[in-house]
Amino acid sequence: MKKLFFLFSLTIALGVELKAQTPIGGVISTNTTLSLASSPYVVTSNILVTNGTTLTIDPGVEVRFLDSLYMQIDGTIRAIGTVQNPILFQLDPTGNFAWGGIRIMNAAVDYDSITGNGCIIAYANMTESASVPVNLLFSTSLIHCILSSPLLDHLDISCCSSGLFFDQSSAILSNSVIHDNTYLTVYVNPYYPPVLNQKVIIRNNNFYNNSFPNNLGSILIDLLGAAEVHGNCIDMNTADMIIRMRVNNIQITNNRISNNYGVAIGLMGGTDTTQVITGNDFTNNRIHFVFPSCVRYPIISGNNINSFMQKAVVCTTYYYPFLTDDCPTTSNSSFVYNMQGNHWGALTTPTQIAAAIQDFDDNFQNLIDIDYTNPLTTPAPNAAPSACNTIGLNCATLGASTTNTEREISIWPCPLFGSELHVSLPETDYYSYSIFSTDGRCVSQAELVNPANTFVINTDGLASGCYFITIAGRSGTLARKVFVISR
Q: How confident is the model over 33-43, as a mean pLDDT?
A: 97
**Amino acid 12: pLDDT:** 37
Amino acid at site 30: T
Could you tell me if 349 and 442 lie in one domain?
no
Could you tell me if 362 and 414 lie in one domain?
no
Q: How confident is the model over 229-249, as a mean pLDDT?
A: 93
**Amino acid 177: pLDDT:** 93
3-state SS, residue 57:
strand
Would residue 112 count as lying in a domain? Answer: yes
**Amino acid 474: pLDDT:** 56
Lowest mean pLDDT among 2-11, 26-35, 57-66, 417-426: 2-11
**Amino acid 418: pLDDT:** 72
Other C-beta atoms within 10 Å of 329: how many? 4
Could you tell me if 351 and 273 lie in one domain?
yes
Please answer whether residues 255 and 277 qualify as being in contact, where contact means their C-beta atoms are separated by less than 8 angstroms. no
Could you tell me if 457 and 332 lie in one domain?
no
pLDDT over threshold 70, residue 170? yes
pLDDT over threshold 80, residue 253? yes
Q: How confident is the model over 228-240, as a mean pLDDT?
A: 93
Could you tell me if 424 and 348 lie in one domain?
no
**Digit-coded pLDDT (tens) for 477-487:** 666 667 776 65
Lowest mean pLDDT among 9-13, 22-26, 219-223, 248-252: 9-13
Lowest mean pLDDT among 13-17, 358-362, 440-444: 13-17
Would residue 363 count as lying in a domain? Answer: yes
Lowest mean pLDDT among 167-181, 263-277, 412-426: 412-426
Would residue 300 count as lying in a domain? Answer: yes
Please answer whether residues 484 and 464 qualify as being in contact, where contact means their C-beta atoms are separated by less than 8 angstroms. yes
Question: Could you tell me the pLDDT band of residue 423, with boundaries at 50, 70 and 90?
Answer: confident
Question: Could you tell me the pLDDT band of residue 382, with boundaries at 50, 70 and 90?
Answer: confident
Would residue 215 count as lying in a domain? Answer: yes
**Amino acid 478: pLDDT:** 64
Could you tell me if 306 and 409 lie in one domain?
no
Would residue 167 count as lying in a domain? Answer: yes
Q: How confident is the model over 116-122, as a mean pLDDT?
A: 97
Separation between Cα atoms, residue 353 and residue 346, nearest integer Å: 9
Please write down the long-range contacts of 321-324, taking CB distance under 8 Å and 24 or more positions apart.
Answer: 321/216, 321/217, 322/217, 322/240, 322/241, 322/244, 322/266, 322/268, 322/290, 323/268, 324/268, 324/269, 324/292, 324/294
Q: Which helix (H) or strand (E) holds 172?
A: strand 172-174
Separation between Cα atoms, residue 179 and residue 157, nearest integer Å: 6
**Rounded to two decimals, what is the model's pTM?**
0.80
Could you tell me if 444 and 333 lie in one domain?
no
Could you tell me if 478 and 330 lie in one domain?
no
Q: How confident is the model over 411-436, as a mean pLDDT?
A: 72
Dihedral, CA of residue 378, residue 379, residue 381 and residue 385, to nearest 10: -160
**Amino acid 407: pLDDT:** 37
Lowest mean pLDDT among 114-118, 125-129, 225-229: 125-129
Amino acid at site 453: N
Q: How confident is the model over 25-44, as a mean pLDDT?
A: 97
Could you tell me if 176 and 83 lie in one domain?
yes
State CA 255 to chain mean position distance: 12
Print the domain residue range for 469. 405-485
Could you tell me if 361 and 446 lie in one domain?
no
Could you tell me if 420 and 357 lie in one domain?
no
**Amino acid 133: pLDDT:** 62
pLDDT over threshold 50, residue 4? no
**Amino acid 192: pLDDT:** 58
**Digit-coded pLDDT (tens) for 66-95:** 988 999 999 999 999 999 999 999 999 888
Would residue 385 count as lying in a domain? Answer: no
**Digit-coded pLDDT (tens) for 260-304:** 989 999 998 888 899 999 999 999 999 999 988 787 889 999 999
State CA 227 to chain mean position distance: 15
Question: Could you tell me the pLDDT band of residue 424, with boundaries at 50, 70 and 90?
Answer: confident
**Amino acid 437: pLDDT:** 73
Could you tell me if 294 and 434 lie in one domain?
no
Instruction: Give per-residue burial for 72-99: e unless 16+ CB within 10 Å, then b.
Output: bbbbbbbbbbeeeebbbbbbbeebeebb
**Amino acid 333: pLDDT:** 60
**Amino acid 434: pLDDT:** 78
Q: Give me the chain's average pLDDT, please.
A: 82
Would residue 392 count as lying in a domain? Answer: no
Q: When comparing pLDDT for 486 and 107, which is higher? A: 107
Question: What percent of the chain is predicted at pLDDT more than 70?
Answer: 78
Peptide bond into 413 cis (omega under 30): yes
pLDDT over threshold 50, residue 221? yes
Q: Which residues lie closer than 8 Å to 400 by C-beta, 6 or more apart?
A: 159, 160, 161, 180, 181, 182, 211
**Amino acid 211: pLDDT:** 87
pLDDT over threshold 90, residue 435? no
Tally of domains in the chain: 2
Question: Could you tell me the pLDDT band of residue 203, with boundaries at 50, 70 and 90?
Answer: very high
CATH of the domain at 441: 2.60.40.3080
**Amino acid 464: pLDDT:** 78
**Amino acid 149: pLDDT:** 95
Would residue 6 count as lying in a domain? Answer: no
pLDDT over threshold 70, residue 102? yes
